Amino acid sequence: MKIKINKKEYSAKENETVLDVCRREGIRIPTLCSHGKLKREAVCRMCLVETNKSDKLVTSCTTKVFEGLEVTTESEKIKKAREINLELLWSDHAGKCVKCKKNRQCELQTLAQEYKIENFHFVPRRGEMTSGEENELLRENWSRVVVDEKNPVIVRDSQYCVECRRCINICPISSYGFNHRAGDVVVGTPYNETLDCLFCGACVAHCPTGALVDQGDIQKVMADLDDINILSVAIVDPAILSSVENELENVSTLEDLTGFLRALGCEKIFDLSWGFQNYVGKVVEEIHPHHAKKGIKKMHLSNFCPSAEIYIEKYYPALTKNILKTKRPEELMSEAIKGEYATSEKIDPKKIRVILLSSCTSRKKLQGKNIDHITTVRELGRIVREKKMEKDEIKSSKVDKFLDGAGKQYENLYEYGQLSRVVSSQIKGKFSVGSANGVVEIGNALKAEFAKEKHYDFLEIMICPEGCENGGGQSIKIKE
Amino acid sequence: MEDIKIITKNWGKINPLKISDYIEVGGYSALKKFVAGMKPTEAIGEVKVSGLSGRGGAGFSTGDKMEMVAKSKKHKKYFICNLDELEPGTYKDRMIVDNDPHILLEGIIISALAIGAHKAYIYINGNYEKQFEILEYALRESRRKNLWGPGILGTKYDLDVELFSGAGAYICGEETALLNSIEGYRGEPRLRPPYPTAVGLFGAPTCVNNAETIANLPWIILNGGKKYAKIGATCSPGMKLYTLGGVVKNQGVVEAPTGITIRFLIDKLGGGMQDEKEFWFAQIGGASGHLVTEKELDTALTFSRDCPIPLGSGAIVVVDKTANIYELMLSWTEFFRHESCGKCVPCREGTFRLHEIISRLQDGEISERDREAMQDILWALENTSFCPLGKFAATAVRDAVEKLKILNI
């Protein structure tokens, strides 16, 4: 069908919304609550547009297209609506941009700049209140703030929250919800308990502001990078290349990124090929004895995705013993860096700092003796912004050779389905493999296994949709 | 003035706790008439002819709503009686339960059977503990008489009626929020379309009607829709319960036809002003209602869209000149600042800031900045909020500013 947007004709499909058409055609409509395939809540009221069907403003994210529809996306009225609602959000926002971990990667900040929100006339000023009222206001404001820093992966601070509900909708196990009501609404866990989830990080990746950020101290990473007595070794997870461009302008290939990391102060940069290769070998070694014994039908679950491991432990505790025990590629590799590699290069392992650049937030739990820092794409972006690096100084370069792997490219196991393919190709005889992503698919696969409808000798499980490409440590575009 | 009473006809005359009393005065004869030989389509036809419209405030045609659900081919359907009466100054539904719970039950059973539902819910305000018990008792008694349950009165009709207590949130009176509440979710309005008549409770077509609307049903079934349509205003005929409050002599719930003027309500039904006080304004329809001044008193109140003063829930609060308007405004804004669900930005943040601003103008002075901010917030509430609650939050404050000319804006 044909619809008109800003007096220009566009073709649209049945069941598409106005926002869908505008996104496809590159017409800018700001949103804070709607993102990608997430449930359209229509709560931020940023995407309001005018149509020829009523004199009311309607939300473009939920208005379905129909023949003869005419839409206006910019007008005085629309601008006014967006400005007032943005300012209302700003008045309730912490507004500590400079210290905020999301500075310059914040959707609210971007919108405020776009709509030039500089008046704060909803917030009372000093002198307009008595000191008693002021104290009361402060007390009330603080009574509603919830900060959760106790879990190992995600930091939540409700001062920055714009109640967009993305985290509520994206969480695979529904960890979050609204607590209280009206102006007192706080997004949080039931009874405000410390977050205890799968730590897949999808909520952090989708948070438009700094309400949900990565746990971790980039200052320590930066200090190690700058320390000349320390050998900083970066391990690059190939999956981060799918979103690194959102944080580092014009960086899209591994060579670009390697160049960037060298400029940043990483002395050695390795990809994960060696780790992948050894990991697959160990996985096959672990499965094979069970498989070789006739009559035993044991289902092996991959341990590759730490979130999936937590999921099984929490929701299918009986299957915990079916999860592989093999160390993960990055664990194998960091161990080798501080072991074999340090010996062969004659470096004191104590002077080596391994930084894992990861597309995953739940891998933050692997931080320990061998892996010193685990940095998500978002954190890498912050490091670069804080260091104020210029793109001109950077030349692309190749990753370093690692032991016998010699920089040989190996299949990227972070790609969904790859691990089960590689494993099945290396095991002889009848061997059924499967892969499941997301809690729904995993649940279905396990249900089929329990009901003896379908047996998997090896099931690759990942929590993030389509695997690490959409991992919780990735960065999303702030302007869709 | 016709001296007809439909909803209040038994009030004070029968013992509300005795089903035999209700049956003695002709109660449940409408249900008997319906199950004995009336087709559901006929019954709905009568409701459509009667022109009965939703008494909760929106004024949607009851017959049309019932027909939409009845026509749906889905097997599972629900009927819900909305008794979540939280509009400040309104207690008509509570009075119905207090005085004649069986008229409500009869209406519920007829409506549910007419639309083809096998399950009906009564969603009752969480604060109505006494009324909950009355209904519980009435349900038990009527169940014993086989007025609901499997095989009603020996016919093929089956119906289960469940009493469901809300938790006292204003927004849960909004039908989609009410559905969420019964389903066990947070009481927040849903996006529409789809409307509850298509996708309602647990995804099934659902008809949600206000208790007062339902109480009209037995009379319509017995006496015919045509007769009902002759009562009151032609655009939205019927009887209405008005809750009179404020400085009128006779406060309380009265039954009167639609289409009467506000002056008639105050002077005749309310018995005029208390202690010869001077009338200033009246608020029509609870906290979400408009304010009317002296010159609008001759407006006829109807549910029609053309009516300049929406009748809403039928609550009328009369205010005299000795009242402190700033305190009143504070109470309105405090109500909405507390009762907004917090889902959308303008309502969550707007009602909060509006309450802040109003609390700053208690001395009758407003700064230029607050004045601008207030105008902006009112505009945003009216034009950009997710559900009508946001608009309601602005109504009274805007009227106070524009009609009463306080603050000289």
Q: Compute the C-alpha angle A70/A76/A77, nearest 5°.
A: 70
DSSP string for residues in B16-80: TT-HHHHHHTTTTHHHHHHHHH--HHHHHHHHHHHT-B-TTTT--BHHHHHHHHHH---S--EEE
What phi, psi does B64 have (nearest 5°)?
-60, -45
Q: What is the pLDDT of residue B1?
A: 45
Q: Return the higher-pLDDT residue of A388 and B164.
A: B164
The side-by-side arrangement of strands in the sheet containing A373-376 is A268-271, A231-236, A352-358, A373-376
CB of B379 less than 8 A from some CB of A: yes
Cβ neighbourhood burial of A415 (10 Å; 0-12, 13-18, 19+)? middle
- Using DSSP's 3-state secondary structure scheme, residue B303 falls into coil
Angstrom CA distances, A245 to A114, A205, B120, B274, B382, stand at 22, 15, 56, 74, 41
pLDDT digits (tens, 9 = 90+) for B310-330: 888 899 999 999 999 999 999
Nearest CA among A151, A214, A159, A205 for reference residue A383: A214
Q: Which of residues 178-217 of B touch A (CB under 8 A)?
A: 186, 188, 191
Read off the pLDDT band of B5 (50, 70, 90): very high
pLDDT digits (tens, 9 = 90+) for A53-69: 989 999 999 999 999 99
B290-293/B252-257 β-pairing: unpaired
Q: Which of residues 321-350 of B touch A (CB under 8 A)?
A: 336-346, 348-350
| Cross-chain Cβ contact B353/A91 below 8 Å | yes
CA-CA distance, B98 to B130, in Å (whole number)? 9
Nearest CA among B341, B347, B293, B296 for reference residue B321: B293
- Using DSSP's 3-state secondary structure scheme, residue A373 falls into strand
CA-CA distance, A163 to A75, in Å (whole number)? 26
Tally of CB atoms within 10 A around B28: 21
CA-CA distance, A148 to A361, in Å (whole number)? 16
What number of helices (H) and strands (E) belong to chain B? 16, 9
- Among candidates B186, B348, B384 on the partner chain, residue whose Cβ is nearest the Cβ of A163: B348
Q: What is the pLDDT of residue B49?
A: 95
CB of B375 less than 8 A from some CB of A: no
With beta carbons less than 8 A apart as the criterion, state whether A480 and A310 touch.
no
Min distance A127 CA to chain B CA atoms (Å): 12
Q: Which of residues 5-64 of A touch B (CB under 8 A)?
A: 40-45, 48, 56-57, 62
- List chain A residues with CB under 8 Å of B340: 181-183
Cβ neighbourhood burial of B386 (10 Å; 0-12, 13-18, 19+)? buried
| Cross-chain Cβ contact B342/A42 below 8 Å | no
Q: Give strand ranges (E) for B96-205.
A: 119-124, 160-165
Q: What is the pLDDT of residue A387?
A: 86
- Among candidates B191, B373, B380 on the partner chain, residue whose Cβ is nearest the Cβ of A85: B380
Beta bridge partners of A154: A214
- Extract the tokens encoding B116: 């083809």
User: Can you give the pTM of this predicted structure?
Assistant: 0.92
With beta carbons less than 8 A apart as the criterion, state whether B158 and B117 touch.
no
CB of B385 less than 8 A from some CB of A: yes
CB of A92 less than 8 A from some CB of B: yes
CA-CA distance, A168 to B365, in Å (whole number)? 42
- Extract the tokens encoding B258: 């639609």
CB of A126 less than 8 A from some CB of B: no
Cβ neighbourhood burial of A230 (10 Å; 0-12, 13-18, 19+)? middle
CB of B380 less than 8 A from some CB of A: yes
CA-CA distance, B178 to A127, in Å (whole number)? 44
- List chain A residues with CB under 8 Å of B389: none
CB pairs under 8 A between A and B: 104
Cα A211 off chain centre by: 14
Q: In degrees to the nearest 10, what's the CA dihedral of A403, A405, A408, A412?
A: -120
- List chain A residues with CB under 8 Å of B376: 84, 87, 121
Question: What is the predicted ipTM?
Answer: 0.91
Read off the pLDDT band of B369 (50, 70, 90): confident
Min distance B191 CA to chain A CA atoms (Å): 8
- Among candidates A80, A92, A182 on the partner chain, residue whose Cβ is nearest the Cβ of B338: A182
With beta carbons less than 8 A apart as the criterion, state whether A199 and A361 touch.
yes
Look at the alpha carbons of A73, A75, A79, A85 in this order and tell me if their dihedral is positive or negative.
Answer: negative
CA-CA distance, B305 to B54, in Å (whole number)? 13
- List chain A residues with CB under 8 Å of B336: 182
Percent of chain B with pLDDT over 90: 85
Residues of chain A with pLDDT under 70: 292, 294-296, 391, 405-409
- List chain B residues with CB under 8 Å of A41: 191, 343
| Cross-chain Cβ contact B342/A163 below 8 Å | yes
Q: What is the pLDDT of residue A46?
A: 94
Residue B404, amino acid:
L
Read off the pLDDT band of B2 (50, 70, 90): low
- List chain B residues with CB under 8 Å of A84: 346, 376-377, 379-380, 384
Q: What is the pLDDT of residue A143?
A: 80
- List chain B residues with CB under 8 Å of A76: none
Q: What is the pLDDT of residue A91?
A: 87
Q: What is the pLDDT of residue A296?
A: 65
Q: What is the pLDDT of residue A361?
A: 93
- List chain A residues with CB under 8 Å of B365: none
Min distance B111 CA to chain A CA atoms (Å): 33
H runs (alpha helix) in A232-359: 244-247, 254-264, 273-292, 306-315, 329-336, 342-345
- List chain B residues with CB under 8 Å of A42: 191, 344, 386
What phi, psi does A15 have (nearest 5°)?
70, 0
CA-CA distance, A169 to A309, in Å (whole number)? 22
